[in-house]
Structure 1
Amino acid sequence: MSSIFPTYARWDVTVQKADGAILVDTNDKEYLDFTSGIGVCNLGHNHPTVKEKVIEQLDQVWHVSNLFHIPTQEQAAMMLTEHTCGDYVFFCNSGAEGNEGAIKLARKYTGKWKIISFKQSFHGRTFGSMSATGQDKIHEGYGPLLPSFEYATFNDIDSVKSLVDDQVAAVMIEVIQGEGGVHPADPVFMEALEQLCQENGILLIVDEVQTGIGRTGKAFAYEHYNISPDIIVSAKGLGNGFPIGAVIGKEKLKEAFGPGSHGSTYGGNPLATAAASAVMSEVFRPEFLKQVEENGHYFMKLLTEKLTSSFVKEIKGKGLMIGIECTGEVGPLLTQMREEGFLALSAGPNVIRLLPPLTVTKDQLEKAAAILADVL
């Protein structure tokens, strides 16, 4: 009898230890983990560099609040601004909190109140980020949502234009929709979207909660497109399992987030930012990102060659964020894969979502492709 609300459809697996891309359950069964904690453990489980830095910080100070200067916070913020087009950072605890912060910042800076997001998007489960999410299944049962969000069609610039008026503060987008089915944005659409925003005094918010921190072979996925967002939201892989989120904004936005305008008790605490700095010191190395890109191409080629079943409709994605769209529901297949010692996710009812650690080996990619081919 559990005392936990049944908000999760849990698998029949209890993990007792983990290392790299391998999980071991309480029955000593090993699993090849291509979920990475839902795109969180980008450096794999129990990464030595991250572990060392967190323990080092743990021995010094855990928490002091943002009334104090926090050196690890300054270091992490500098690393984020050095590897993005942003200039300032606000730290929080999750992707949903990051998107809430981005929404507040956009509305505060522009003085406008509408946000355009996209059908099949996912931005979180707080009330604001849930309202920004363009999926009915996320909204069901909660009554009226916040009235300030309207949903355009992904990759359709005319649908965005039809929603633009003088009260639109920002357009909020994932350049690869994750939870909604692993749909990459079209480069022509992204350039047109940025131009539309600039022409109408609208901020461009890119939600990089799942796509950031090396997942696609770039530090952030927007770098695949010829754009320069006003606000970027990061989380998931930023702490490699330690809760942290970040809102990264351009210089012009600084005055909108002055003292008292926003806050977070735990946001940017010494442990979280020590973890984030350790993660970025590994992931943002050019040779590391190149390896992610190469492994992504290699894995895509393997999957294209091996997944010849008529059940497979399309294989898509960037880097090590891959979706296998199928002609039917994939839930039973995911169960069968777990029985075979392989862990994957869904992205909607018909898409198998693969998010292996960025440190995955070619042998592990080959093993994964073989299991997927066998099950499919």
Structure 2
Amino acid sequence: MTLEKGNLNELDSALLDAVLNTAVDAIVTIDARGKILHANRSVEKLFGYKPQDLINQNVSVLMPEPDRSRHDGYVQSYNETGKRKIIGIGRQVLGQRADGSLIPIDLAISEVHVGDRILYTGIMRDMTERQQNEADLRDAQLRLIQSERLAAIGQMVTGLAHESRNALQRSRACLDMLDLDLETAPEQQDLVRRTRSALVELQTLYEEVRSYAAPIQLGKTRQTVSELCLDVWNNLSEVWTPIKIKLVLNCEACPAIYCDASRISQVIRNIYENSLAVVPSNSVLYTTCRPICHGSQQYLQVAFTDDGPGLDDEQKRRIFEPFYTTKTKGTGLGMAICNRLVEAHAGKIYVGNNEHRHPDAHGAVIVMELPM
């Protein structure tokens, strides 16, 4: 772009300022040395700097390292060689706000000739929302593909479980009769008992795989998660009474949410059972609820912490993988099912860190977030 006149009259200047300052995108003009000559009002919204505070500063102040240190070299290289790497092309880059935070931006740079001066104008647009929407779309597509695959697996396993149920029942009936014939042979009876137990485990495996792969239908009602936690704990405490484990609920201000009580109770039960299996006697399990926000969406965050040995790096990475387990018994589907159930509620479940851990606990932290 070329402007033949070196100066604009007062009317033209006012008109130009009005156009620039009503633009949605941030617009910055610099000279050949990278010094900022003009910044419109949208720059403040994007970067947190007042436009007048940027005048005469080097434009690299809007960049993170290593671009900040290299920018003058980029400009000098272009001025000397005329070889374009970004001017007139545009690209997505990272900008740095006044508070030091990074922000993805779409940057388009044009070259302007004003008399014998060469200026550069950068037009910048915040890409945060667009990138989040693209990520959400990718996640939705992956979930759709996973749902279709799981539906196929579920249909296959349901048929397999149905056909195998009759065979398993016949096997158990035969073992029952064999057990009667072996009343005087305790060693053989023990083999029968172990075989019967293996059949039960096989049937359980069929049911868990079917449960994991089956489509999830939710019946949402207004529930208080703290009450669900207490109900689950009361049911579990009878079984785990001998090891004397205590539950501490910090959910005094826990708001009610719409969820499937049975499904969320299943998630809570699985988390508690995993903790109970590893904590020593006289331990305490902590459950803390608090409302949080992700953008404009409010969530109820529920953090489960125990006094067990915690999770190593591999367990943290793989805990929600189907069939991953560190137990001698079990299918490794428990936490994978929990993940599906929470995602079906448009929430998420993940391994927490020290930010989520109760100050009196030192073990594993599992965090569940459900929309309010």
Shorter-chain TM range is under 0.3
State the TM-score, normalized to the length of structure 1: 0.22
State the TM-score, normalized to the length of structure 2: 0.22
Higher relative contact order, chain-length normalized (CA < 8 Å, sep 6+): 1
Q: Which has the larger radius of gyration?
A: 2
